[in-house]
A and B are shown apart, each in its own frame.
Chain A
Amino acid sequence: MAEVRIGGISRRDKVKIAALAAAVLAIPAWIVLPWVHGRLEDFFSGARAQLFGQVLVAILLEAFPFVLIGATISGLVEVLLPPERLARAIPRRLGWRLLMAAGAGVLLPVCECGIVPVARRLIRKGLPIEMGVVFMLAGPIVNPTVVASTAVAFTGQGLALEMTVARVVCGVTVAMLVGLGVFKWFGHRTLAPPTRGDAYGHGAAAGGSVVTNVLVHIVHDFLLLGGYLLLGSLLAAGLQAFVPRTWLVSVGKVPVVSTAGMMLMAFLLNVCSEADAFLAAAFTQFSFAGRLGFLVFGPMLDVKLVAMYLGAFPKRMLLAVLLLVPPLVLGVSELAGLVQGWLY
Chain B
Amino acid sequence: MTDPDTDKHHVPVLSWWELWPMLAWGTYTVYLYATGRIFYLLQRVYGHLALAGACVLLAAFAYGWAVRVSRLRSERKRLEAAREAGRLDALRPLCVCGVSEAGWGRYVRSLAFLVPLVVGFSLPARGVNSLAAVQWGAGDLAMMAELADRRQTERSEQRGRYAWTTLMGVAQRLSGGRAEKVGALGFIARKEGQPRDRFFVVRFLMTCCAACAQPVAVPARLDEEALRAHKLVPEAVRDHLEADQWVEVFGRLDPSAKVWWIEDLKFVREPENPYM
Nearest B residue to A248 via CB reads: B137
Main secondary structure of the interface of B (DSSP, over half): helix
Within the assembled complex, what's the spacing in Å between the Cα atoms of A58 and B208? 9
Q: Which of A8, A199, A274 has the most CB of B within 10 A?
A: A199
**Chain A residues whose C-beta falls within 8 Å of the C-beta of B93 in the assembled complex:** 5-8
Give 8 closest A-B pairs by Cβ, nearest first.
Answer: A65-B53, A227-B109, A275-B208, A40-B122, A58-B210, A202-B12, A47-B131, A58-B209
Within the assembled complex, what's the spacing in Å between the Cα atoms of A212 and B152? 50
Nearest B residue to A277 via CB reads: B207
Within the assembled complex, what's the spacing in Å between the Cα atoms of A222 and B100? 11
Can you list, as one digit per residue, whether each of A42-54 has a CB less than 8 Å from chain B (1) or not (0)? Answer: 0111011011011
Q: How far is the CB of A223 from chain B (nearest CB, A)?
A: 6
Q: Name B208's contact: one of A6, A62, A222, A240 (CB within 8 Å).
A: A62
A271 on the B face (CB < 8 A): yes
Question: B-contacting residues of A (Cβ < 8 Å)?
Answer: 1-2, 4-8, 37, 40-41, 43-45, 47-48, 50-51, 53-62, 64-65, 68, 72, 153, 155-157, 197-199, 202-203, 205-206, 208, 211-212, 215-216, 218-220, 222-224, 226-227, 230-231, 233-234, 236-237, 240-241, 243-246, 249, 269-272, 274-276, 278-279, 281-285
Q: Which of B64, B115, B116, B118 has the most CB of A within 10 A?
A: B116
Q: How far is the CB of A98 from chain B (nearest CB, A)?
A: 30
Nearest A residue to B105 via CB reads: A227
B157 on the A face (CB < 8 A): no
**Is there an interface contact between B150 and A281, defined as CB atoms closer than 8 Å?**
yes
Within the assembled complex, what's the spacing in Å between the Cα atoms of A206 and B67? 11
**Chain A residues whose C-beta falls within 8 Å of the C-beta of B7 in the assembled complex:** none
B182 on the A face (CB < 8 A): no
Query: Which segment, of B42-50, B231-239, B249-257, B258-266, faces chain A?
Result: B42-50
**Is there an interface contact between A224 and B123, defined as CB atoms closer than 8 Å?**
no
Within the assembled complex, what's the spacing in Å between the Cα atoms of A227 and B10? 25
Supply 26 A–B pairs (Cβ within 8 Å), ascending by A: A4-B80, A6-B93, A7-B94, A41-B122, A50-B124, A53-B120, A54-B40, A59-B209, A61-B209, A72-B56, A156-B149, A199-B99, A208-B67, A211-B63, A212-B67, A215-B60, A215-B67, A219-B18, A219-B60, A219-B64, A223-B21, A230-B112, A233-B116, A271-B212, A279-B212, A282-B214
Known: A43-B122, A51-B128, A62-B42. A274 touches B208 (CB 8 A): yes
Nearest A residue to B51 via CB reads: A65
**Is there an interface contact between B130 and A57, defined as CB atoms closer than 8 Å?**
no
B79 on the A face (CB < 8 A): yes
Nearest B residue to A234 via CB reads: B115
**Is there an interface contact between A205 and B137, defined as CB atoms closer than 8 Å?**
no
**Is there an interface contact between B99 and A220, defined as CB atoms closer than 8 Å?**
yes
B69 on the A face (CB < 8 A): no
Q: Interface size for chain B: under 10, 10 to 19, 20 to 34, or 35 or more residues? A: 35 or more
Main secondary structure of the interface of A (DSSP, over half): helix
**Is there an interface contact between A279 and B99, defined as CB atoms closer than 8 Å?**
no
**Chain B residues whose C-beta falls within 8 Å of the C-beta of A62 in the assembled complex:** 42, 46, 50, 208-209, 211
**Is there an interface contact between A7 and B95, defined as CB atoms closer than 8 Å?**
yes
B129 on the A face (CB < 8 A): yes
**Is there an interface contact between B113 and A226, defined as CB atoms closer than 8 Å?**
yes
Nearest B residue to A209 via CB reads: B67
Q: Name B10's contact: one of A198, A202, A279 (CB within 8 Å).
A: A202
**Chain B residues whose C-beta falls within 8 Å of the C-beta of A244 in the assembled complex:** 134-136
Q: Name B211's contact: one of A6, A50, A55, A211 (CB within 8 Å).
A: A55
**Is there an interface contact between B143 and A57, defined as CB atoms closer than 8 Å?**
no
Q: Which of B12, B29, B42, B149 has the most CB of A within 10 A?
A: B12
**Chain A residues whose C-beta falls within 8 Å of the C-beta of B32 in the assembled complex:** 61
**Is there an interface contact between B143 and A197, defined as CB atoms closer than 8 Å?**
no
Q: Name B137's contact: one of A203, A236, A245 (CB within 8 Å).
A: A245
Known: A44-B119, A223-B109, A271-B208. A57 touches B41 (CB 8 A): yes
Nearest A residue to B144 via CB reads: A282
Q: Name A230's contact: one of B12, B80, B115 (CB within 8 Å).
A: B115
Q: How far is the CB of A177 from chain B (nearest CB, A)?
A: 28
**Is there an interface contact between A44 and B147, defined as CB atoms closer than 8 Å?**
no
**Is there an interface contact between B116 and A199, defined as CB atoms closer than 8 Å?**
no
**Is there an interface contact between A54 and B41, defined as CB atoms closer than 8 Å?**
yes
**Chain A residues whose C-beta falls within 8 Å of the C-beta of B21 in the assembled complex:** 223, 226
**Is there an interface contact between A246 and B109, defined as CB atoms closer than 8 Å?**
no
Interface residues of B in 58-97 (CB under 8 A from A): 60, 63-64, 67, 76, 79-80, 83-84, 93-95, 97
Nearest A residue to B53 via CB reads: A65
Q: How far is the CB of B136 from chain A (nearest CB, A)?
A: 5
B142 on the A face (CB < 8 A): yes
Q: How far is the CB of A244 from chain B (nearest CB, A)?
A: 4
**Is there an interface contact between A281 and B146, defined as CB atoms closer than 8 Å?**
yes
Q: Name B123's contact: one of A50, A155, A157, A215 (CB within 8 Å).
A: A50
**Is there an interface contact between A61 and B109, defined as CB atoms closer than 8 Å?**
no
Can you list, as one digit per residue, whether each of B129-166 has a CB less than 8 Å from chain A (1) or not (0)? Answer: 11110111100101100110110100000000000000
**Is there an interface contact between A202 and B97, defined as CB atoms closer than 8 Å?**
yes
Nearest B residue to A63 via CB reads: B209
B22 on the A face (CB < 8 A): yes
